[in-house]
Amino acid sequence: MNAVTQLYQDVPAPGTRLQELQDWVGEVAALVRPDAIHWCDGSDDEYAALLAGMRSDGILLPLNQATHPGCWLHRSDPDDVARVEHLTFVCTRERDDAGPNNHWMPPDEAHAKIDALFEGCMRGRTMYVVPYCMGPVDSPLARCGVEITDSPYVVANMRIMTRMGEAALARIEREGRERAARGERGPAFVKGLHSLGELDPERRFIMHFPEQLSIKSYGSGYGGNALLGKKCHALRIASWQARQEGWLAEHMLIVGIENPRGETHYVAAAFPSACGKTNLAMLIPPEGYREAGWKVWTVGDDIAWMHPGDDGRLWAINPEAGFFGVAPGTSAKSNPNALATIARDTIFTNVAVTEDNQPWWEGLDDRVPALDWQGRPYDPANGPAAHPNARFTVSAKQCPAYSPRAEDPHGVPISAIVFGGRRASLVPLVFEARDWTHGVLIGAAMASETTAAAAGQVGVVRRDPMAMKPFCGYHFGDYFSHWLSFDKPGAKLPKVFHVNWFRKDADGRFVWPGFGENLRVLEWIIGRVEGTAGAVESAIGGMPREGDIHLEGIGLGIGAARALFAIDGPEWRAELADIGGYLDGYGERAPEALKVELRRIVDALARA
Ligand code: SAT
Ligand code: MN
């Protein structure tokens, strides 16, 4: 240990005597050379001080406090506005373990490359040590990590998005001691190291070392690149752990649907980023349904960790404590619950502002903004006023529909899993898998038009299995096998469905009204789970017959209703052939059972 490491080792870690944590913080400090180290306790005072500091440094700008108390605006670097998949690596010892679905680098090379960037990078800055827990701190399903970062904005976001501070640190320490007592080796918590660096896209990497439960992220301060508890830990690292331990870490919202009899079914749904997960998680029952007594409860809007319970069912927690939601498109019509949630104590990133300094984005209302997301006077010639991936960060507790079960340490039992994508054509409004294997194939074959959540072209169809393409920390072939492995004696697995809210007509208009009306589809799904709703078997899966699903009163003509459920034979044959080729891309690790299942559907389509 050199002198500098020794020096930093002496910085007291309040409440922790866990040697592994102390050592790691010391090693990191010796590498990045901060001016100061701050151990985050998660307190209100600490948060207030952080906000005040960022205000005086211009990192946060106060918004109109009369209309939006406790709300702040952050403008990110214009070259740092979304996840960067091409700079995101999964660094397993064996290349094949990361799979063709990930960029890979050998761990030694990756460490060397990124450590060279970290060298001395926190000179003149404060290094924050952020202990956090993903999931309720008292939940056996929760997992902990520590993020080291030089970005106070990241710290503030982590405080909203996770259970951050003393309670998490206490759990980390207890688990560390218990593991040591059992003689277990390997890391006691997920280690995440993050620096803004120079915010230079040429000096930017997001590296994952699943075998070491470690993450290193350099050169970006945005969302999933920098809030390491979110995609890096709760999906990429957790999916790896979940495979070893027999559970699932998924890119899914969790929502409770309460019927007029007061029974609540929990549904987990996977959609790619920026395809309406937050809207579905916060759905408001449409007219008629509300009066009849339907209620919708939000458990989570982005990530679900699902464990098989003693009763054979899958039990899910939302590992997050807040929402990092897409602002554009959020309105009193599309998501009134979200608007109520973000009315106070919210950090807005890359939104526009009105003349009187209220946050604004496209789709909110018909006011004309004064400044765009870069702080320039608004000029439509510069593009949208808010960045299309502008976000709000807010505590889930502020959501009026936040489920009383969301903090339940045992999670909620999942009745149905829904896969969905953004498809202008081909894919019907809803269909049901025959069984689990068929459901896994439907998930594995998911495809969607790309959105602004990731850097790159928007609107091109790409395969995004289970909406995990950017987030699965290992080989997709192994991932599909892992999903299949849940089908065993005694399991009471959820029914699996596929939805597509985004089908368009010949004039390019959405056929389905979406938003609150999506409850009609969920009602059918729950009816299928309960055995009360009818369906007819089609080649691609079970579909509602006329009358099985309530489509009246929303102005859908007969033609539109038919179009929503149409299955075009030749187009589907082409799609199935494409799915076959896609699965072949995963080579020997693509499970045979999925190929058999695919052939069954091809044959059924030929007979139809
Ligand atoms: O930027 S994030 O990765 O956190 C959001 C998303 O893409 O879902
Ligand atoms: Mn997401």
Query: What is the DSSP annotation of 97-161?
Result: HH-TTSEE--HHHHHHHHHHHHTTTTTTSEEEEEEEEES-TT-TT-EEEEEEES-HHHHHHHHHH
Find the 396 Cα to ligand 2 centroid distance in Å. 15
Is 322 strand, coil or helix?
strand
CA 28, 31, 33, 34 dihedral sign is negative
68-119 per-position pLDDT tens digit: 999 999 999 999 999 999 999 999 999 999 999 999 999 999 999 999 999 9
| Ligand 1 centroid distance, CA of 311 (Å) | 33
pLDDT at 220 over 50: yes
pLDDT higher than 70, residue 22: yes
Residue 274 CA, ligand 1 centroid: distance in Å: 8
Task: Give the Cα separation of 294 and 283 in Å (integer).
Answer: 11
Q: What is the pLDDT of residue 3?
A: 45
Q: What is the pLDDT of residue 13?
A: 61
How confident is the model over 313-326, as a mean pLDDT?
Answer: 98
The proportion of the chain whose per-residue pLDDT surpasses 90, expressed as a percent, equals: 92
Closest ligand to Cα 252: 2
Nearest to 217 by CA among 140, 150, 123: 150
Q: Is 6 helix (H, G, I), strand (E, B) or coil?
A: helix
The atom number, within ligand 1, closest to the CA of 453 reads: 7
Residue 154 pLDDT grade (very low, low, confident, very high; cuts 50, 70, 90): very high
Q: What is the pLDDT of residue 531?
A: 97
User: 561 is written with which tokens?
Assistant: 């209703």
Q: Is the CB of 471 under 6 A from ligand 1?
A: no
Which ligand sits nearest to residue 325's alpha carbon?
Answer: 1
Work out whether the CA dihedral 307, 313, 319, 325 comes out positive or negative.
Answer: positive
Residue to substitute in 74, 230, 389, 391 for testing ligand 1 pocket (most ligand atoms within 8 angstroms of CB)? 230
* 411-468 confidence digits (pLDDT tens): 999 999 999 999 999 999 999 999 999 999 999 999 999 989 899 988 888 999 999 9
Which atom of ligand 1 lies nearest, measured to the CA of 231? 3
* pLDDT exceeds 50 at position 381: yes
Across the range 279-297, mean pLDDT stands at: 97
What is d(CA 253, CA 250) in angstroms, rounded to the nearest whole number? 9
Question: Looking at the annotation, which residues are catalytic?
Answer: 275
Query: Which of 251, 324, 450, 469 best tests ligand 1's pocket when mutated (most atoms within 8 Å of CB)?
Result: 324
How many CA atoms, within 13 angstroms, populate the side-chain half-sphere of residue 606?
8
For the chain, the structural domain boundaries read: 3-59+87-246, 250-322+403-607, 323-389
Q: Is the CB of 313 under 6 A from ligand 1?
A: no
Residues that place a CB less than 5 A from ion ligand 2: 273, 302
Burial of 94 (0-12, 13-18, 19+ CB in 10 A): exposed
List, as residue ranges, the binding site.
83, 222-224, 231, 251, 273-279, 302, 389-391, 422, 515-518
Q: Are 431 and 498 spatial neighbours (Cβ–Cβ below 8 Å)?
A: yes
Q: Say what the pLDDT of residue 253 is.
A: 98
Does the pLDDT of residue 4 top 50, yes or no? no
User: Which ligand 1 atom is the nearest neighbour of the CA of 454?
Assistant: 7
- Residue 184: Cβ-neighbour burial (10 angstroms; 0-12, 13-18, 19+): exposed
511/551 Cα distance (integer angstroms): 12
Check whether domain 250-322+403-607 has CATH 3.40.228.10, yes or no:
no
Secondary structure, 3-state, 385-409:
CCCCCCEEEEEHHHCCCECCCCCCC
The residue with greater pLDDT, 15 or 23, is 23
Express as a percent the part of the chain with pLDDT over 70. 97
The whole model's pTM is what?
0.96
Higher pLDDT, 562 or 162: 162
Q: What does the DSSP 8-state code read for residue 370? A: S
Residue 593: enclosing H or E segment and its boundaries? Answer: helix 592-607
Whose tokens are 């404060």? That residue is 126
Identify the band that residue 305 occupies on the pLDDT scale cut at 50, 70 and 90: very high
Q: What ipTM, to 2 d.p.? A: 0.96
Ligand 2 centroid from CA 461, angstroms? 18
Instruction: Find the range with the poorest average confidence among 141-145, 185-189, 497-501.
Output: 185-189
CA dihedral 212, 243, 232, 164 (to 10 degrees): -90
What torsion, rounded to 10 degrees, do the Cα atoms 547, 553, 558, 561 define? -70
Q: Among the atoms of ligand 1, which is closest to the Cα of residue 274? A: 8
Binding residues for Mn(2+) are 231, 251, 302
DSSP state of 369: P
- Residue 490 φ/ψ, nearest 5 degrees: 90, -15
CA 457 from centre of chain = 20
Pick the CATH number of 3-59+87-246 from 3.30.450.20, 3.40.50.10710, 3.30.365.10, 3.40.449.10: 3.40.449.10
Closest by CA to 276, choosing from 325, 227, 340, is 325
**3-class DSSP state of 49:** helix
Question: Residues 239-248: what's their mean pLDDT?
Answer: 98
Cβ proximity of 212 and 187 under 8 Å: yes
Supply the pLDDT for residue 273. 87
Q: Mean of the pLDDT values across residues 478-496?
A: 98
Residue owning tokens 């997301």: 373
Pocket test for ligand 1, best of 85, 231, 472 (most atoms within 8 A of CB): 231
pLDDT tens-digit map of 508-560? 999 999 999 999 999 999 999 999 999 999 999 999 998 999 999 998 988 89
Task: Report whether 533 contacts 544 (CB < 8 A).
Answer: yes
Beta bridge partners of residue 454, listed in sequence order: 83
* Helices and strands, counts by H and E, the chain: 18, 29
Average pLDDT, the chain: 96
- Superfamily of domain 323-389 in CATH is Phosphoenolpyruvate Carboxykinase, domain 2 (2.170.8.10)
Using a 10 angstrom Cβ sphere, with 0-12 exposed, 13-18 middle and 19 or more buried, the burial of residue 100 is middle
pLDDT > 90? residue 9: no
**Could you report the per-residue pLDDT of 338-375, keeping only the tens digit for each?**
999 999 999 999 999 999 999 999 999 999 999 999 99
Q: Identify the band that residue 2 occupies on the pLDDT scale cut at 50, 70 and 90.
A: very low
Stated as kind and residue range, the H or E segment containing 582 is: helix 569-584
Q: Are 432 and 495 in contact (CB under 8 A)?
A: yes
Could you give the CA distance from residue 402 to residue 394 in angstroms, rounded to a whole number?
12
- CA 33 to CA 237: how far, in whole Å? 27
Report which protein residue has its CA nearest ligand 1's atom 2: 224
The dihedral over CA atoms of 108, 110, 114, 115, expressed in degrees to the nearest 10, equals -10
